[in-house]
Structure 1
Amino acid sequence: MTTISRITAEDRPAWDALWQAYITFYESEVPADVTESTFARILADEHLHGAIARDSDGRAVGLVHWLTHPATWTTGVYCYLEDLFVDPGARGSGTGRGLIEHVRDWAHRFGATKVYWLTADDNATARTLYDKVATSTGFVQYEIEL
C-alpha cells in the first residue's frame, strides 16, 4: 500500500533521488542552488507545497509539488500541479493517481476552484493516467525565457 505525506526535512535524501530522476526524465538540468531553494520552500509550506509517496516497504516512489495563484476567471484561486514523478519501478501501482488525488483533496480544502498541470505531448504513459483523472483542455503552452 502506498502512503502519501507532506515532505519533511527527513525526506531530503529520498526527495533528492526522486527529484534528480525527474529532472533527468525531462532531459534537463537544475542548478544546485535552485534545488536547495526549492526544497527549502517546500519545507516552509507557504507558497510551494510538496508530498512524497512511499511503498509498503517505506521506499520513496513518487513526489508531487504544487502551488496556488489568483486567477482572472474566478474570484478564488487555481492550484497548479507543477511537478509529478513516479519511479519507473512503481508506475502502474496507483501512485501517480494517488499523488494527483492528494493534491486535488488539498486544493479542495484550500478553496481552489481547479487543479491543472502541463505535460509533454509525447508523455504517453502519463497521459494515459491524466486522461482518466482529468480533462484535456487542448491548450498549447508557449514561454519566453527571461
Structure 2
Amino acid sequence: MTVTIAPLNEREFFAWYGLFAEYAENAGVVMTDEQVMRVFTALQAPGAHGAVAHDESGAVVGFVHALPFERLLQGDSGLQIEDLFVGPAQRGEGVGTALIEHVRSAAESSQRPLLRWTAKADDAATKALQEKFADAAGGWVLQTVPVA
C-alpha cells in the first residue's frame, strides 16, 4: 500500500476523530468531547507533532501523536510518541512504519536525537514494530507510577 503522511490539521479533524475514537475504545478509554478537543488542541501547539496517513484514495487510515520531552542530563530534547494507530484493515501494510519514519524525520529536522514510545507488553504487533526501529530502549525500562 502506498501511503502519504500529512500534518494533522483542521481539515482532517473528522477523519482523525473517527480513528481516534476507535483507538480510545480499543484502549478501554471513554472519551468526552472536551477530552478530544484537548488532544487536538495540544497537537497544534509548538513542538507537538500530529500526523495522519492517507491511502491511495485519500482516506485517513492511521495517525501518530508525538510530543517533545526534555532530556535534562543530556541538555537536549526528544520526541515521545504518545499514540500510534492504524485502522484494522490497513495493518501489516506499512502504514505504522511510514508514520514512525515521518516522526523520526521530524525529530531529526528539529535536532532531537531520540524518539521513544511505549507499548503494552502483550501487544505483539506494536512490540514487533518497535523492535524494527529500537535498540532495546537503550537499556532503559519505563515504569508507570499511578498518582491517584
Q: Which TM bucket (shorter chain)?
A: over 0.9
User: After TM superposition, which residue ranges in structure 1, 4 or more long, deviate above 4 angstroms?
Assistant: none
Question: Which amino acid is 1:139 matched to?
Answer: V
Instruction: State the 1:26 CA deviation.
Output: 1.1
| Structure 2 CA distance for aligned equivalents of residues 83 and 21 of structure 1 | 12
| Structure 2 CA distance for aligned equivalents of residues 54 and 32 of structure 1 | 24
**Secondary structure at 2:131 match in 1:** helix
**How large is the Cα RMSD of the aligned pairs?**
1.4
Q: Corresponding residue for 1:84?
A: 84
Instruction: State the 1:22 CA deviation.
Output: 0.8
| Structure 1 CA distance for aligned equivalents of residues 30 and 136 of structure 2 | 28
- CA change 1:77–1:140 in 2 (3 A) is closer
**Which of residues 136, 139, 145 in structure 2 aligns to 1:143?**
145
Question: Which amino acid is 2:83 matched to?
Answer: D
Structure 1: give runs of 5+ residues left out of the alignment: none
| Structure 1 CA distance for aligned equivalents of residues 27 and 136 of structure 2 | 21
Instruction: State the 1:47 CA deviation.
Output: 4.1
| Structure 2 CA distance for aligned equivalents of residues 36 and 140 of structure 1 | 28
| Structure 1 CA distance for aligned equivalents of residues 10 and 142 of structure 2 | 36
Number of corresponding residues:
145
**Secondary structure at 1:92 match in 2:** coil
| Structure 2 CA distance for aligned equivalents of residues 75 and 91 of structure 1 | 37
Q: TM-score, structure 1 length as denominator? A: 0.92
Deviations 1:6-65 (A, max 9, x none): 0110101101011011111212223321111211232x3414320000100111110000
Question: Which amino acid is 1:116 matched to?
Answer: R
Asked whether the equivalents of residues 61 and 86 of structure 2 are also in contact (C-alpha less than 8 Å), the reply is yes
Q: Corresponding residue for 2:69?
A: 69
Q: TM-score, structure 2 length as denominator? A: 0.91
Identical amino acids, percent of aligned pairs:
29
